[in-house]
Chains A and B, each alone.
Chain A
Amino acid sequence: MRSPIGVARLLFPIAFRNLFASKARSFTVGGIVLIGSLVVVVGSAVVDTIDSSMRGSVQGSLAGHLQIYSARSKDELSLYGKMGGQSSQLEPIEEFGALRRVLAHVPNVKDVVPMGIEMAMVTTGNEFDQALEKLRADVRQGAQGPGIAARYEAHKAHLRRMSALLRDEIRDASVLTDPEALKGSEAVRERADRERAASDGFWRGFDADPLANLEFLENRIAPQSLSNAYTMIRYVGTDLESYQRAFDRVRVVEGTAIPRGQRGILVGKLFAEDWLKLRAARLLDRIADARTNRGRRIATDEELHRWVKELQGQKREILLQLDPMQAAEATARLRGALGSQRTELPDLLGELFVCDDRNFDQHRAIFYRQLAPLLQLYSVGVGDVITLKAPSRSGYMNSVNLKVYGFVEFRGLEKSTAAGYLSIMDLVSWRDLYGYMTAEKAAEIGDIKSRAGAREVERANAEAELFGESGAPVDENARPGRIETPAIAGTAARGAGSKHHATYSQEEIDSGVVLNAAVVLRDPARTREAMRDVKAALSSAHMDMKVVGWQEAAGALGQFVSLARIILFTAVFFVFAVALVIINNAMVMATLQRVKEIGTLRAIGAQKRFIIAMMLLETSAVGLAFGAAGTLLGVGAVAVIRLAGGFPATNDTMYFFFSGRSLLPHLGGLSLAISLAIVFLVSALSSLYPALIATRVTPLEAMQSDD
């Protein structure tokens, strides 16, 4: 063809006129392409948005751009826990400082943040402890003045009522207990203690020795309290300073950051909401969230209905918190707010907790305005010291007492249990809980063993060794086991962080063990190169480490984006595979109907390539026209979805994926380009076979007389 422009002038009118000449075919083919491109545009917008919002939240709160952990680890790193909620079993990195020094030479590395993510038991406290704390404060102050004296009496009356309640509750519960178990000496002693604490005599003589009596209540009664529960807390131990510098998504929502060099913990806000908050308040919050954010109604929603019923069961927890003075105040406030004639607090609470869609907001407001100021809403508050217990790596239980400096949220992941439950503590306390046996420590213990004359004994020979029947020569030098006190004291001091030194230095952070490290890059756009450089640097320093990106580090949750993308691409693939078949069939039919025309064109001098170009142009024109229409519709659909507030997150996992309450999809230029490219490719592919058929049409077909 010697004149491309001239040929194009031929091809276009033929292609477009043919499209209009067979409207049904064009619209069928176009409709499929339109749906396909619509799916591509909306789907990619959703997946891309999840990707970018999750990327921002996860990278900005915990993962950084890269994560490094020991290649000898049993598990793969999963920052948000494995399936089932356990932490990944990672081999420790013995000296974090060495890792930091190696990575300091990689140009794109801005910061390296040491980490260890573990779980520990934390006591959530109980009402008995709180009431004891109040009375102990009164005793310490001394009963000076009528106001204080009245409060002291009120606190005493409160504890007395709680003791009686506890006695009755355990008596009721013991009906279900094995009678033999109740005959044990400890059980008998506990029962006697409960009877004593609830007796008139005990309280009459309380003032004679208040401190001794408080100790009795604290040691013998409080531990028996049924609500004395532990819960598991998940935390990351880290260098707080570099953590705050590296992760901008973390914010302290209450309290303050942990001061430099101080031990302490920042408790995850969502964890506090779900596990440390007064249950009645938690239920009210949940119902409010379901009503406000998810449009659910008590009248029609079975779960909300059940929660409202559960509220009735929360009266006891509130009553136990209030001493007689507070109870009187609460009674007065509730009577006023509810406009009720009832005089008993339990009745008034019952009335408050009878909620329906009409009065719920009002009753919740009354709870928070009138009752909450008299209650301790969270079992742990800013400034409290909490005890965390965890099995150490060496096998024994470690515990640390840590001051709660505040509550933290991870912006974007506030409502996700996977991320929002995470608390942050200083690295040194984390190490105390983790209890890793460093080479230095192992050498120290080895030294103690040798001084004590201990040696490894085969299990089979243990008896003979113990009783001297083996005939084996007895080590004349071995001394009876006398373990030197300072060595043990040292170990014990590590075990109980609170007894250990309260501050620490940067050197201490660098010189100890961590489980993983987050790498923050100067230029995140070059993450792939940075990963290669980091791997090379670690390899040349003979450090056997794994380096992974944020998605892999975030475990199964992080890989949701890839999964979603695979699902989307599979769906798109099927849509377009169907499109391909249908377009192909339609075009084959069209080609067969046009055999004579094609034959004529060939006869009067059109080369085969002209025929191919004509066929491809026709299908591509349909593909592009309808593909563009589908893309525009997709853009419109995304805009409508955004205007309607996006896709709401209906559960915790969706909160994590959406990194917020809802997903507001946004369009990326790349998605649009990909969409059009796919449409174009499918159109072209689907017309290849018809085009091939067309090229096989010989000029002889033009001579056929049957039209």
Chain B
Amino acid sequence: MVPIVSVECVSKTYWLGKTEVPALRDVSLDVHCGEFLSVAGPSGSGKTTLLNLIGCIDTPTGGRVVVGGKDTSALTERQLTDLRLHRIGFIFQTFNLVSVLSVKQNVEFPLLLQGGLTRRERDARVRGVIEAVGLERQAAHRPNELSGGQRQRVAVARALVTRPGLVLADEPTANLDSRTGATIIDLMRQMNSRDGTTFVFSTHDPKVMAHASAIVRIADGQIVAREALNGAVAAGGY
């Protein structure tokens, strides 16, 4: 089975002044279609860096990242942006909604950037995901009129509206209380089950990790374990 993401011997080093800080060291990982993969580890372990590299919003210092069969190191910035737009959905720890747009407009945003759909198709698609995350009554609201959980639902809807193969979520429940966090993870899981969308999310919360089909444990910039959960098959590669 061809992985949707293939991280091959990737290193990432940051510089803090003259000090070299290795964020990731020789990491290799395959993510397969339909996985609901959790990247777990303490703060500063390199979870976010790994997600950034997979999401093509950062470039590795060494090794390569292949997303949807494309070697990202060979792509231009514009091509990388296009790749993100069409193949990847993002859910951020702090929701990152456009505050001046309504729920519907926020969700519609990536579709408008993509183009290609008629207005009716677009409306239907947007309505569908908003209903799926249970926010049809708040569609006209602005983000500051919503609770944290609702905002993250909007973010989930925005990430899914383009029907990407891969959704990356960086600590999606970190800014939510545990109950709300659980509902968000449930929602993501539903989408994973319903559409077969691959999810990779980072967390350090064991309760959240428990929902994953597999957990990749990371410490000091290296993957230390990959565990299959809930009977799911843990794909190798590290």
In the complex, A146 has a CB within 8 A of chain B: no
Interfacial chain A residues near B158, Cβ < 8 Å:
604
Q: Are A702 and B101 in contact (CB under 8 A)?
A: no
Q: How far is the CA of A698 from the CA of B105 in the complex (A)?
A: 23
Contact of B100 (CB < 8 Å), options: A13, A603, A604: A13
CB distance from B15 to the nearest CB of A (A): 15
Q: Are A607 and B109 in contact (CB under 8 A)?
A: no
In the complex, A610 has a CB within 8 A of chain B: yes
Q: Are B109 and A13 in contact (CB under 8 A)?
A: no
In the complex, A602 has a CB within 8 A of chain B: yes
Interfacial chain A residues near B186, Cβ < 8 Å:
none
Interfacial chain A residues near B114, Cβ < 8 Å:
2, 605
Nearest B residue to A21, CB-CB: B100
Residue of A607, A699, A703 ringed by the most chain B CB atoms within 10 A: A703
Q: How far is the CA of A610 from the CA of B85 in the complex (A)?
A: 13
Tell me how many residue pairs across A and B have CB atoms closer than 8 Å. Answer: 92
Q: Are B98 and A21 in contact (CB under 8 A)?
A: no
In the complex, B68 has a CB within 8 A of chain A: no
A603 in contact with B90 given A1-B113, A2-B116, A699-B57 (CB within 8 Å): yes
Segment 98-143 of B: residues with Cβ below 8 Å from A: 98-101, 105, 109-110, 112-116
Q: How far is the CA of A702 from the CA of B91 in the complex (A)?
A: 10
Nearest B residue to A610, CB-CB: B113
In the complex, B55 has a CB within 8 A of chain A: yes
Nearest A residue to B97, CB-CB: A600
Q: Which of A3-11, A483-491, A574-582, A620-628 contacts B (4 or more CB under 8 A)?
A: A3-11
What per-residue 1/0 map shows which CB atoms of A1-36 lie under 8 Å from chain B? 111001101100110011001000000000000000
Interfacial chain A residues near B170, Cβ < 8 Å:
703
Q: Are A705 and B58 in contact (CB under 8 A)?
A: no
Interfacial chain A residues near B77, Cβ < 8 Å:
608
A605 in contact with B96 given A698-B57, A703-B170 (CB within 8 Å): no
Contact of B94 (CB < 8 Å), options: A18, A601, A606, A707: A707
Nearest A residue to B112, CB-CB: A6
In the complex, B93 has a CB within 8 A of chain A: yes
Q: Are B92 and A605 in contact (CB under 8 A)?
A: no
A597 in contact with B82 given A9-B112, A603-B55, A702-B90 (CB within 8 Å): no
In the complex, B84 has a CB within 8 A of chain A: yes
Q: How far is the CA of A153 from the CA of B82 in the complex (A)?
A: 116
CB distance from A595 to the nearest CB of B (A): 11
CB distance from A700 to the nearest CB of B (A): 6
In the complex, B81 has a CB within 8 A of chain A: yes
In the complex, B86 has a CB within 8 A of chain A: yes
CB distance from A434 to the nearest CB of B (A): 79
Q: Are B58 and A700 in contact (CB under 8 A)?
A: yes
Q: How far is the CA of A610 from the CA of B112 in the complex (A)?
A: 12
Q: Are A703 and B81 in contact (CB under 8 A)?
A: no
In the complex, B35 has a CB within 8 A of chain A: no
Residue of B57, B78, B101, B114 ringed by the most chain A CB atoms within 10 A: B57
Q: How far is the CA of A169 from the CA of B37 in the complex (A)?
A: 123
Q: How far is the CA of A700 from the CA of B90 in the complex (A)?
A: 12
Interfacial chain A residues near B96, Cβ < 8 Å:
596-597, 600, 603, 702
CB distance from A600 to the nearest CB of B (A): 4
In the complex, B73 has a CB within 8 A of chain A: no
A603 in contact with B57 given A18-B100, A21-B100, A705-B94 (CB within 8 Å): yes
In the complex, B171 has a CB within 8 A of chain A: yes
B: number of interface residues (CB 8 Å): 35
Q: Are B100 and A14 in contact (CB under 8 A)?
A: yes
CB distance from A695 to the nearest CB of B (A): 11
CB distance from B28 to the nearest CB of A (A): 22
CB distance from B1 to the nearest CB of A (A): 27
Q: Are A605 and B85 in contact (CB under 8 A)?
A: yes
In the complex, B180 has a CB within 8 A of chain A: no
Nearest B residue to A3, CB-CB: B115
Contact of B105 (CB < 8 Å), options: A13, A608, A705: A13
CB distance from B163 to the nearest CB of A (A): 13
Segment 191-243 of A: residues with Cβ below 8 Å from B: none
Q: How far is the CA of A606 from the CA of B48 in the complex (A)?
A: 21
CB distance from B126 to the nearest CB of A (A): 12
In the complex, B192 has a CB within 8 A of chain A: no
A3 in contact with B112 given A699-B57, A700-B58, A703-B92 (CB within 8 Å): yes
Q: Are A2 and B92 in contact (CB under 8 A)?
A: no
A3 in contact with B116 given A699-B57, A703-B170 (CB within 8 Å): yes
Interfacial chain A residues near B82, Cβ < 8 Å:
605
Segment 688-707 of A: residues with Cβ below 8 Å from B: 698-700, 702-703, 705, 707
Q: Are B113 and A605 in contact (CB under 8 A)?
A: yes
Q: Are A17 and B84 in contact (CB under 8 A)?
A: no
In the complex, B52 has a CB within 8 A of chain A: yes
Q: Are B112 and A605 in contact (CB under 8 A)?
A: no
Contact of A703 (CB < 8 Å), options: B48, B86, B101, B105: B48
A-B contacts, 9 listed (Cβ < 8 Å): A10-B105, A14-B100, A596-B96, A597-B99, A604-B90, A605-B84, A605-B113, A608-B77, A703-B170
Which chain B residues have a beta carbon within 8 Å of chain A's beta carbons? 48, 51-52, 55, 57-58, 77-78, 81-82, 84-86, 89-90, 92-94, 96, 98-101, 105, 109-110, 112-116, 158, 170-171, 174
Using A603-B57, A606-B113 as known contacts, list a sample of 15 further A-B pairs with CB atoms less than 8 Å apart, ordered by residue number in A: A6-B112, A7-B112, A14-B98, A21-B99, A596-B94, A597-B98, A600-B92, A600-B96, A601-B98, A602-B57, A602-B81, A603-B84, A605-B113, A703-B48, A703-B52
